[in-house]
Structure 1
Amino acid sequence: MTEARNTFAALSDDDRWRIAMAKDRRFDGAFVTGVHSTGIYCRPSCPARAPLRRNVRFYAAAADAEAAGLRACKRCSPNTQSAEEACVLAAIKAIRAEGAMTLDQLSDLTGYSPTHFQRLFKRTVGLSPAAFARALREERVREALEGGASVTQALYEAGYSAPSRFYADTKGRLGMQASDWRNGGKGRMIHWSVVPTSLGAMLVAATGKGVCCLAFGEGEEELRARFPKAELVEGREEFRALFEQVIAAVEEPSIDNSHIPLDVKGTAFQQRCWEALRKIPAGETRSYGEQAAMLGNPKASRAVGSANGANNIAVLIPCHRVVPASGGVGGYAYGPEIKAELLRREGADQKELF
């Protein structure tokens, strides 16, 4: 209930109205739509004909709508859990307890055909059952490493049959090796420099795999706090071309910077949030609730905000493109002025932001 109310608070009435008009089932459970001309309330995805906007009010939960004198819609049953929702929750519970399961096993569990359940699960969760199981295992590995477990112990306890399976699962994604989580960058060489930009001095740092930090107004002290056991090397000639690409991306954030390699660390959820940020086109913005919906979990707006705040790479992982649903630029680690200027350079709609 608390999570749902957080999601409700993160959305404006205009957001809720757009969601209801789109009949977006990803927000079912995040709020209900009360139609005071008919005295009923519905799920956002209710297939009934759209009401007039002036007759609609939004409520965080069914109980709030009923307290206002409304009754549940018989067509979409907003006060009950659907059979499909119950099946997805049962599958999630089974995967958490047993680990990865085949579609045939999930089909036997839920009573749906394998193909139909695959579509249903992905539509509800945002991931296929197999991808959800992989993300869950990766999350358990990282939690164990942060808790002090050895790499091998963490991998086996999470259900990997061999370390090679973990690295095969995570190959090509944003993120450092598992051992880097536990060792604070031990054994890694990080090349760094503080470079001038039109937005102020900017710290750029990179490993041999890609950029691992980009921050305004920071220097070696802050970088060492992030990677206390790494070897820091200032200003190497062979990294000049990469640093120049980063500067160009800051000066013109509207240009495509997906070719710039990144090497960042984060939990599986954080990395999904950061990957979602990189999919927001330049010149567009999203609310925290909308970003959470991109991940298939519209109730996770608070967790999304925390993940965005943990982002070490400004601009290239564009957390500046997430703004409050209520309007305005919102907060930013390096100040709202820099955030506003980045959005201006990208061509974001200034009337919506100011």
Structure 2
Amino acid sequence: MNQMTALAPPSPLPPDDDACWDAFLRRDRAFDGRFVGCVTSTGIYCKPSCAARHPRRENMRFLPDGAAARAAGYRACLRCRPDELGRDRLAVERAVALIEAAEEMPSLEALAAQVGYAPHHFHRLFSRATGATPAAYARALRAGRLKAALEKENNVTDAIYAAGYAAPSRAYADARAHLGMTPSAWKEGGRGVTIRWKVADSSLGPMLVAATDKGLCRISFGEGEADLRAAFPQADLRPADAALDRLAGAITALVDDPAAAPDLPLDVGGTAFQQAVWAALRAIPAGETRSYAQLAAAVGRPAAVRAAGTACGDNRLAVLIPCHRILRSDGGLGGYAWGLERKRALLDREKEES
């Protein structure tokens, strides 16, 4: 999978006016920090999620941020305090940069002090913006470096220390959480890992369903044993047992009843950013869609639209992690690893059910 993409500066331009107004009507927190709404009749500017009563559409204009609004003669809303969001976002961006540059994870207290917040408040702020605590973010980042090092170094020990670990024990713990297997198993194409699999019939065609003893590791349309073997060439691939049959039954049923959203065990590795994107995808209700820009904003990275799209492409659990619910900003289908016809069919079914 792709390594974690560094936070980029926020886009200097807000979305188009119609998208901004729609976000205000929904009080959509995912758009907070991407623009502000200025009320011409009161001279106040607010963030999109402001709980105040909505003004008339003709009394609204949209600007990139509070600085632009103040330059235009508006003052900040005392109810939603839109400028504090900008400060929060900058603090998170600064903290991410510090974590990425550090050889060892700084303590929460040290990190919070460097960005000017109390530790308990910053912990909540960082978690809300990134979908992970500072410590979990650092572990996922280091696990991503371990994955890259395993592909370059000649042996596992060299890779562990090249990734910044002080001891193998922490590397093995992180690898099980983020790679789904030990560093040795990952480097050797899944050696020592047992994967049960089957190709199940679904109303949208054959589905490959595969799982380790921890949970589902691959769900895909139109793939078979050769594709699974290419992903894990040294894994012990075995036919489905009763447990895998039950999982496969739940997945094929989900194709016909997308609103079911079963709580199934997963075993997929990813960076902190990828995991945040996948969690945001699972939070989208059946029958609704989001744009790539909205998805990026939902995980606190409004400028990382392309990275959010890449995380969708890295999803290997079709339907269960519903990347088919993401469209282009113009309403176009965008991409889908398992074919646009299937994406259209899934969306049509969800609309019928909603």
Which TM-score band (shorter chain)? 0.7 to 0.9
The question of whether the paired residues in 2 share the 8 Å contact of 1:278 and 1:318 is answered with yes
Q: Quick one: distance in 2 between partners of 1:256 and 1:79?
A: 37
Q: Quick one: distance in 2 between partners of 1:264 and 1:136?
A: 15
Give the 3-state SS of the residue equivalent to 2:259 in structure 1: coil
Q: Quick one: distance in 2 between partners of 1:245 and 1:181?
A: 28
Asked if 1:71 is matched to 2:72, the reply is: yes
Give the 3-state SS of the residue equivalent to 1:333 in structure 2: coil
Of 324-333 and 208-217, deviating more is 324-333
Asked if 1:206 is matched to 2:207, the reply is: no
Amino acid in the other structure paired with 2:170: R
Q: Quick one: distance in 1 between partners of 2:85 and 2:283?
A: 32
Query: What's the counterpart of residue 220 of structure 1?
Result: 225
The question of whether the paired residues in 2 share the 8 Å contact of 1:148 and 1:182 is answered with no
Identify unmatched segments of 5+ residues in structure 1: none
Give aligned pairs, total: 343
The question of whether the paired residues in 2 share the 8 Å contact of 1:191 and 1:233 is answered with yes
The question of whether the paired residues in 2 share the 8 Å contact of 1:174 and 1:265 is answered with yes
Give the 3-state SS of the residue equivalent to 1:244 in structure 2: helix
Which deviations, in whole Å up to 9, do the C-alpha atoms of 1:24-66 show, x marking residues without a partner? 6764553455667899987657899855323545566899x79
Query: What's the counterpart of residue 101 of structure 2?
Result: 97
Among candidates 338, 343, 346, match of residue 347 of structure 2: 343
Percent identity between the aligned chains? 49
Q: Quick one: distance in 1 between partners of 2:242 and 2:20?
A: 52
Q: How does 1:1-354 map to 2 (within 5 A)?
A: 4-5=10-11, 13-20=17-24, 27=31, 30-31=34-35, 33=37, 44=48, 51-56=55-60, 58=62, 71=72, 73-75=74-76, 83-98=87-102, 99-148=104-153, 150-169=155-174, 175-234=180-239, 239-259=244-264, 261-347=265-351
The question of whether the paired residues in 2 share the 8 Å contact of 1:42 and 1:78 is answered with yes
The question of whether the paired residues in 1 share the 8 Å contact of 2:219 and 2:317 is answered with yes
Amino acid in the other structure paired with 2:287: G
Of 219-228 and 166-175, deviating more is 166-175
Structure 1 residue 258, shift from structure 2 partner:
1.4
Q: Quick one: distance in 2 between partners of 1:279 and 1:80?
A: 26
Q: Quick one: distance in 2 between partners of 1:7 and 1:118?
A: 29
Structure 1 residue 346, shift from structure 2 partner:
3.5
Structure 1 residue 4, shift from structure 2 partner:
4.2
Q: Quick one: distance in 1 between partners of 2:199 and 2:334?
A: 26
CA RMSD after TM alignment: 4.1
Which deviations, in whole Å up to 9, do the C-alpha atoms of 1:45-93 show, x marking residues without a partner? 7899855323545566899x79xxx836453899999555554444333
Structure 1 residue 12, shift from structure 2 partner:
5.9
Structure 1 residue 316, shift from structure 2 partner:
1.7
Q: Quick one: distance in 2 between partners of 1:48 and 1:243?
A: 47
Give the 3-state SS of the residue equivalent to 2:319 in structure 1: coil
TM-score (normalised: structure 1): 0.75
Of 17-26 and 141-150, deviating more is 17-26
The question of whether the paired residues in 1 share the 8 Å contact of 2:209 and 2:216 is answered with yes
